[in-house]
Amino acid sequence: MRKPDLSFWQLWNLSFGFFGVQIAYALQSANISRIFATLGADPHDLSFFWILPPLMGMIVQPLVGTWSDKTWCRWGRRKPYLYLGALVAVAVMAFLPNAGSLGLTVKMAMAFGLVMLMLLDTSINMAMQPFKMMVGDMVNERQKAKAYSIQSMLCNAGSLVGYLFPYIFTWIGISNVAPEGVIPDSVIYSFYMGAAILILCVLYTGATVREMNPAEYAAFHNLSEKEEAEEEKKSLWTLLMHAPKAFWQIGLVQFFSWVAFLYMWTYTNGAIAETIWQTTDTASAAYQAAGDWVGVLFAVQAVGSVLWAMVLPLFRNEKVAYATSLVIGGVGFISTFFIADQYLLFISYLLIGCAWAAMLAMPFALLTNSLSGGSMGAYLGLFNGTICLPQIVAALLGGVILSLVGGTQAMMLVVAGVSLLLGAVAVFGIQTRK
C-alpha cells in the first residue's frame, strides 16, 4: 500500500491537543520547585521531589503503549487514554497548588503535594503519550520529521503560555505573595486556567482526528492482520530484548539530554534568586519575583523552541540537526553562570530552547523510522524510559552534585550544559536502519 501524505491541517489536528497538555506540563516544570520550597523544602532536597514525575512516567507510558496497541473500540485506539489522562489532570490541577492552604502541618502539606504531584504526572503522561503514538500510527516515513516538528512547535507554544501565566496574573494585580507556607494566588489561578485550556484542546483533537481501524492500520504498515495480532501478543520484555539498535543509541543521547533539563527545572529558580535577586529566603517577595522571572525565562526558551522547530526540517541530515541543537543548548546553559543581568539571560534561554525543540522531535522521528507498525505504541512507551530513567538518576544525585560544586545552584546549570554537549557527541553513534 502506498502511504499517503497528510495535509498540514491533518498533521496539525493530530497534535493540537498537545498544546493544552504542555500548558499543564509547563506549569508543573516551572513551579514544582517553587511550590515545595515555599512549603518549606530544603534546597539540597529539592531534586528528590523530581523523582516522582519521571518514575510515574516510566511506569505509566509503557502500560499505556501496550494497552492502547490492543485497544480497538468506537472511541479509537489511542484516544480513550487521552481522554482519561486529561480528565484526571484537570482534577489534580485544581488541588495541587492548594497544598499550603488546607491548614495542614508542613510535613502533611508536603505529603499532600507529593501525592498530587504523583497523580498529576501520571495523568499528564497518560494524556501525552497518545499524541506521539498517533503520529507513529498515521504518518508516513517521509512526513514524520515534519509531523513531530509541528508537535514540537505546538508543545512549545503551550509551554510559552504555561510559563507566563504566573507573571501575567501578577501583572494584572493578583497577589504574588502569601503567608509563609502558602502558595500565592498568582500560581493557584495559573493552574486553574491551565486545566480549562487542557480539556478544550484535548476535545478538539478528539473531534477532528479519526484513527484507523485494524484493517487500515495493518495495510498502512504493510502487516497482515495475523502479523498485527502476533505483534500485539508480545510482552514488553520480549519487545525490549528485540529492540532495534537505534532504540539504545538514541537512548544514550536521551540520557545526557534529560539530565540537563531535570537540573534546569530543579535549580533555575534558586539560581536566579541567588545571582539576580541576591536572596535565598523563600518567603521573601524577592524570591517569589525570581520565581515569576523563571516563568518568563522558560517562556523565552519556549519561543526559541518554536522558532527552532521551524528550522529543523530545513536540515538535510537529521543527526546533524539533532547534534547542532544540543551543542547550541549546551552553550546556553553554560552562559547562564557568567550573566548577572536578568534580561541578558534571554539570550541563554533562547539557545536552550533550540535543544528542547530537537529533543521533542528528533528522537521520535529517528526511532519510529526504525520500527515496524506492529508494536509502535509499546515501543514508544518503553522508549519513555530513556526520558524517565535519566531524570531519576539525576534527581538522586542532585544533592550530591550540588555539594560537589560548592552548594551554588547556578553551577548546576553549568553541569546541565556539559551534559548536553556529551549528548551531542553521542548523536553520531545512532544507526537508523530497520
**Is pLDDT larger for residue 222 or for residue 26?**
26
Helices and strands in the chain: count of H runs, count of E runs: 16, 0
Integer Cα distance of 212 and 138 in angstroms = 8
pLDDT score, position 81: 86
Residue with grid cell 526559541, as numbered in its chain? 304
The domains of the chain, with CATH numbers, are 8-427 (1.20.1250.20)
The reply to whether the predicted model has a pTM over 0.85 is: no
| Tens digit of each residue's pLDDT (9 = 90 or more) over 335-373 | 998 888 889 999 999 999 999 989 987 887 777 776 665
Q: Where are the alpha helices (DSSP H) in 96-143?
A: 106-138
Give the best-scoring range by mean pLDDT among 16-30, 223-237, 321-335.
321-335
Instruction: List the one residue out of 416, 423, 424, 428 whose CA is nearest residue 332.
Output: 416
Is a pLDDT exceeding 80 seen at residue 327? yes
Residue 374 has pLDDT above 80, yes or no: no
CA dihedral of residues 356, 362, 368, 369 (deg, nearest 10): 180
pLDDT of residue 227: 53
Do the Cβ atoms of 150 and 10 come closer than 8 Å?
no
User: What burial letters (b/e) apply to 311-337, b meaning 16+ CB within 10 Å?
Assistant: ebbebeebbebbbbbbbbbbbbbbbbb
* The pLDDT of residue 309: 82
Does pLDDT of 387 surpass 70?
yes
- ∠ CA 224-228-230, rounded to 5°: 115
What are the C-alpha distances in Å from 201 to residues 88, 313, 410?
15, 25, 36
In the chain, the percentage of residues whose pLDDT exceeds 70 is 90
What is the pLDDT at residue 228?
54
Residues forming a β-bridge with 73: 76
| pLDDT value at residue 150 | 85
Query: 154 CB contacts (<8 Å, ≥6 apart)?
Result: 12, 15, 16, 18, 19, 22
Q: How many CB atoms lie within 10 A of CB 1?
A: 9
Q: Give per-residue pLDDT as tens, 393-432.
A: 998 888 889 889 887 888 999 999 999 999 999 999 887 6
Average pLDDT value over all residues in the chain:
82
pLDDT at 235: 62
How many Cα atoms within 13 Å fall on the side-chain side of residue 290?
A: 27
